[in-house]
Amino acid sequence: MTALRSTIATVFHSQSSDADRFLPEGPRSVVVEGRPGIAWVNIQTATDSTRGDIHVRLWDGEHRAHVQPARPGFWFPTDRPNTLLVGMEKQVGTLNLTTNTFTALADIGDPNPRTIINDGEIVPGGRAIVFGTKDVRFAFPVAKLYLFTLDDRRLSVLAEGQLCSNGKCFAQDANGLVLYDIDTPHRNVVRYRLDLAGRAVSEKSEVLSFRDEPGFPDGMVDVGDGTVIVAYYNPEPVPAGRAVRYDLKTGKAVEEWLTPGSPRVTCPLLVEHEGRVRLVLTTATEGMPAEMRGSCPSAGDLFWAETNLERISSSEIVQLSS
């Protein structure tokens, strides 16, 4: 059997506080005031916290933290300058980075105190998004998968019975849109057919299974060539975390990246930086016992690593102004 090609990632952004390390997720490329960089959500700042932050780290080195009044699950770039589309607690809305002002556009209408908005993805074309919720106790299938459309600011439930709806990506074939979705506790990637006009999913099938892998699949990014990179959140005291690239057709692992001293990898991002394609990985300390934290000095930091990719697929942005 051929050994899996393995690349060691290094820390490129070390968090300044334990609060910032708690649950960073959802990194994406961003432009703020004409300056490029990346941004991510820190869903919450401690185990009992009910608020989080959105962080921006510009490539020139400046780091900004935007304190939020609730727990943000995702953010997306938009066609409006310095404006993000954010899923926060139980609402979807816009966030003005200049004023740090959140304006709600829709509410999921779920009164369950244990569910909050989690990961999501932009539907090709930029006029709709798909996102999920999670059970904050990671125990009961009370979470759902949602569709939100900008034209009518309408929310629809696509699927129920999830525990922690996480990484997602889209593909298109001769029959239309395909959605790939991770429900973390089930340790798999499920393929749906998305009927955007009908506001429904169908043809559910499992395309990747991680039940024999250590850790839980969390975030996912599309490589653009029929493969995806999946980040693993490993609760065990292992020396390194990992993210693995998989072929969606064969289900086989292609290569992996390791994060020394940080086993709880949450989300991947591919970026073009200084003429190279690099993989950015967020990691977390969420739930990490104090005795384990001492052996995981880089837990909660952001890593990056080299790839052999020549380019990345074009990124969608939310079209607020259309």
Is 282:300 a contact under the CB 8 Å cutoff?
A: no
The answer to whether the CB of 238 falls within 8 A of the CB of 263 is: yes
63, 30 in Cβ contact below 8 A?
no
Global pTM? 0.96
- Domains of the chain in start order, with CATH, are 5-306 (2.120.10.30)
- The pLDDT, as a whole number, for residue 2 is 63
Q: Compute how many other C-beta atoms are within 10 angstroms of the C-beta atom of residue 29.
A: 19
The pLDDT tens digits for 174-231 are 999 999 999 999 999 999 999 999 999 999 999 999 999 999 999 999 999 999 999 9
The pLDDT assigned to 314 comes to 80
Q: What is the mean pLDDT of residues 44-71?
A: 96
Where do the H-state alpha helices sit in 152-302?
290-293
Q: How many CA atoms lie less than 13 Å away from 132 in the CB half-sphere?
A: 28
- Give me the torsion for CA of 43, 47, 48, 52, rounded to 10°: -20
pLDDT in the model for residue 228: 97
Tell me: pLDDT of 1 over 90: no
Helix (H) or strand (E) holding 21: helix 18-21
Mean pLDDT of 274-301: 95
Bridge partner list, 121: 130
Task: Give me the chain's average pLDDT, please.
Answer: 95
CB of 300 closer than 8 Å to CB of 15: yes
User: What residue has token string 């060539």?
Assistant: 225
What are the residues whose beta carbons fall under 8 Å from the beta carbon of 238, sequence distance 6 or more? 214, 263
pLDDT, tens digit, 9 for 90 and up, residues 146-170:
999 999 999 999 999 999 999 999 9
Contact 86, 92 (CB under 8 A): yes
